[in-house]
Amino acid sequence: MKTRFKAHIETHFPEMLQKPFLLACSGGVDSMVLWTLCRESGLDFEVAHCNFNLRGDDSTKDADFVTEMGIIWNQTIHVKQFNTVAYSASHKQSLQESARVLRYEWFADLLRERNLTFTITAHHADDQLETFLINLIRGTGLEGLTGIPAAAKGIRRPLLPFDREEILAYAHDTKTPWREDASNTEEKYLRNRLRQSVIPNLKKADSRVLGNFEKSLDFLKGSRALLGNHIAEVRDRVLEKEGEVVRFPLKALEQLSPLDPYLYELFRPYGFTDWQALRRLMDGISGKEIRSATHRLLRDRTALLLRPVQAQSQEIYQIYPQVSPNPSDLPMILSEVAHMEQAGKNVLYVDRETLKEGLQLRKWQKGDYFYPLGMSGRQKIAKYFKDHKFNLFEKEDQWILCSGDAIVWLVGHRPDERFKVTGQTKQILRLEWRG
């Protein structure tokens, strides 16, 4: 196994021979064999062990074991304890997901602090098959059937070509010590049931199962790459960028067939994986939206509009006569001018003497109304939005220039009649929107 391991990393992970790295070690047989292989190959690495405090004294004994082996083998060891239960409760995640997040966040911190280049883990061929079966049972797209990647951002998995029997045989041959995790035999976990019952029977049925499974994964990965290229072309063809908002015209989406898989692939990168919800959104009324952890997807009249989730600004800028909170943050420039020039979408001229309560800049609020320039009566801003077909994102982004309770300008759209420059105006203020 040692010879195959060295040949494997020389071909697929030459960086392991050249740069110092971090080895994640639980103390179990897989990670202890990986540690042994790396030691015997003369590689430059440090070892990290996570104590998630989920198994009482056994968790402590695992940490003590790894620490002791670090002393015996003269290896730099890092051990960290986590309050996984508290993290799980506060983040509303399962214990397994919480442990995964905590583990990889700490590994990333160690890489930076210790000037290491990547982390290696002891995932092997049986783990690949277990993960495939779990995803298959729970329901997944093609990406869930392509297995554990051999290399990802900051992670390398050099044991994926080796199965559990090889690893155990090597551990016995080299007298590599390890600790058994009692939770690996608990049948309440799906992975354990697959490991103890399903996969051994598959191997009995055909001893070539892991080798053939690896070939199938290669075919699936190739298909996934082809699909990814196609979806990238479709995405470029159907989407339209409008600043930070991405627009997917409904007519373009409706021409895709079969629609549901296209919806899944187009919106999955933004956290939307329920194509039934996406279809309902397409068929829904204008103004309806769904959210992922990172993005909002809005059903507009003729398109689905996508934008990142962001906090809505409640900032109020005092811009005249004094400026606050910070002049450098001010998205509007004021100047006194002798006469008016051509006004544009983002430029307004007002009669300074009409500004009895200075000028403030804020976001639109429900109930706001103004007297649109050229009209004799007042109009609610909400009615203006409806008449001019503003979508929800545009409403949320709309800034209002006001003087006290009176609106001076629906910024970038319509000024108020009451503040216009007339023949009797003595002082003119020019306002330019830079937001």
Contact 111/145 with Cβ under 8 angstroms?
Answer: no
The answer on whether 27 is annotated among ligand-binding residues is: yes
| 248 strand-pairing partners | 304
- Quote the CA–CA distance of 337 and 136 in Å, as a whole number: 70
Pairwise CA distance, residues 296 & 290, whole Å: 6
> Which residues neighbour 22 within 8 Å (Cβ) at sequence distance 6 or greater?
45, 46, 47, 48, 107, 110, 111, 114, 116, 118, 119, 120
Pull the structure tokens for residue 228. Answer: 């990814």
Tokens 């989920």 belong to residue: 54
Please tell me whether 29 is known to bind a ligand: yes
Q: Cα–chain-centroid distance for residue 190?
A: 27
Sign of CA dihedral 263, 266, 267, 271: positive
CA distances 402 to 303, 369, 420, Å, are 32, 11, 13
CA–CA separation, 399 vs 361, rounded Å?
Answer: 7
CA distances from 220 to 55, 206, 214, 231 (A): 37, 21, 10, 16
* Of 418, 423, 421, 409, nearest in space to 375 by CA: 418
Residue 381's H or E segment, with its range, is helix 381-387
31 labelled ligand-binding: yes
Q: Is 30 annotated as a binding residue?
A: yes
Contact predicate 319/349, CB 8 Å:
no
CB 348 within 8 A of CB 415: yes
> How many other C-beta atoms are found inside a 10 Å radius of the C-beta of residue 2?
13
Q: How far apart are CA 76 and CA 23, in angstroms?
A: 10
Other C-beta atoms lying within 10 Å of the C-beta of residue 427: 13
How many CB atoms neighbour CB 249 within 10 A? 15
Binding-site residue set: 26-31
- Residues contributing to the annotated binding site for ATP: 26-31
